[in-house]
Amino acid sequence: MNLDNKVIVVSGSSSGIGKSTAELLLENYANVIGLDSTESSINNERYQHYCIDIRNEQNILTIVDEIENTFEKIDGLANCAGIYSSSKPFFEISFEEWDKVISTNLTGTFLLSKYIARKMIKNKNGKIVNISCIRSRIFRSEMADYSASKGGVVALTSAMALDLKDYNIQVNSVAPGFTYTGMTKESFDNPQEKEFSESIIPVGKIANPKDIANVVLFLFSDLSNYINGETIFVDGGFKISK
């Protein structure tokens, strides 16, 4: 897929799904602006990186304006930044722990989308791809904060798509299943945990970040122009097996 001359912002670009997404977009000739709280190891002349806390509205506004001034447009946004749950029953989660997960995974997605959508509206063109999770639909204990944040992303995706329908801007989300990233490394490096997880996935294996990034790439391509407001589960069939 040739994304030559496209300008795409990727949050969470220093690791995991965000990094794989940024690298895959670069392989397909896009100009990529990465946002993360840490530095990136990506080295490409078409890659530009900003260290940013996506919960900080003023920082987002400043950087989005700078991106527009540099490139004169923004064609796409991949909201990949996220953190894991507090791993406690909901009745033991402190407000600070709850707020950190919700503000990063959901409010950060809202803020970035808000200001970048305003730039897209000027050109009446754009695509936004949010990263949700199977835990927005299939639940497990001690993940109330994470599930709430990712369920919110699913709802926000559809609501954004309707608000942007008159501006030729499509908004979709990708809901990964079991995926090997920095957040899940400790669990999946355990042979027993890995074996059990693969046994309950119909395709029989845990995803790697590029498996998810491939679908994000598709949603940024012209092949997806008639898909809007949807959440695509990329989970090896886990959802349909439950």
Describe the crossing of helices 209-220 and 16-27 by its angle, rounded to 10 degrees.
Answer: 50
Describe the crossing of helices 57-71 and 108-123 by its angle, rounded to 10 degrees.
Answer: 30
Query: Does 146 participate in catalysis according to the annotation?
Result: yes
| Tokens 């693969």, located at residue | 198
**From the candidates 146, 167, 180, 226, which is the catalytic residue?**
146
DSSP string, 135-160: GGTS--TT-HHHHHHHHHHHHHHHHH
Q: Where are the beta strands (DSSP E) in 44-120?
A: 47-51, 76-79
Q: For 124-238, where are the alpha helices, taking DSSP H only?
A: 144-163, 185-188, 191-199, 209-220
Q: Are 117 and 60 in contact (CB under 8 A)?
A: no
**C-alpha pair distances (Å), 150 with each of 139, 155, 199, 201, 225:** 11, 9, 25, 21, 24
Which H/E stretch holds residue 170?
Answer: strand 169-176
**Catalytically active residues, by annotation:** 146
